[in-house]
Amino acid sequence: MDKISVLIVDDHPVVREGLCSFLELHQDLEVVGEAGDGVEAVEKVGELLPDVVLMDLVMPRMDGIAAIRQIRALSPSTRILVLTSFADDDKVFPAVKAGAHGYLMKDIRPADLAESIRSAYRGEPTLHPQIARKLMEQLSGREGEVPGERLTAREGDVLRLIARGNSNKEIAHQLVISEKTVKTHVSNILQKLHLADRTQAALYAVRQRIAEGE
């Protein structure tokens, strides 16, 4: 069984130890390293190239948001899941814009955390309900947007399936097209709608009620 490699980044050793002990209970998850701040996190990613990083935000030397930016540039294939106690706007929005693939609060249930790591690995957006509401409220303030006005019919189909949490492989199967074609559609969607990643695309679709279409 191929394991999902995880790097834990948190400035509290007790938190890191607890996360490590929990994740090691899952046969498909493997903790390959730990870091106590953003500087160390960037170094560890360069060394280990983990599949998923669990990223705290408030840390010494370099905070999580700055680390997210550097990690995305260093290892674009690495998925970054924010795991924090803070739901303030000055943390949430910069983290998502920096390239976080998900934003979780530390009150998340253990089973949900494990599943969120798997979802991030598959490239699916994962957001704590409180964070999803915040982002949708921010997006709802944008004016002049028409749902999917610049998208082709097939791109609209792909966006709808992204919003429902489907991976590229699942989208390809449902639309009877290749994964390569799906990737092209996803790239076109992000470019046309001026969105950074699948998380923002999913939120856009939900807000515009594109996900409700058939």
pLDDT tens, position by position, 116-158: 999 889 888 777 666 666 665 655 554 444 444 578 889 888 9
pLDDT tens, position by position, 101-110: 888 888 888 8
Residues 130 and 29 in one domain: yes
Residues 106 and 170 in one domain: no
| CATH code for position 162 | 1.10.10.10
H-only helix segments in the chain = 13-23, 38-48, 64-74, 89-98, 110-121, 129-139, 153-163, 168-175, 179-192, 198-207
pLDDT confidence of residue 67? 95
pLDDT tens, position by position, 38-77: 999 999 999 999 999 999 999 999 999 999 999 999 998 9
Average pLDDT of the residues of the chain: 84
What are the tokens at 212? 């409700």
pLDDT tens, position by position, 157-169: 898 888 777 788 8
Residues 122 and 180 in one domain: no
Per the structure, the complete domain to which residue 165 belongs is given by 143-212
Report how far residue 19's alpha carbon sits from residue 193's, in angstroms, rounded to the nearest whole number.
37
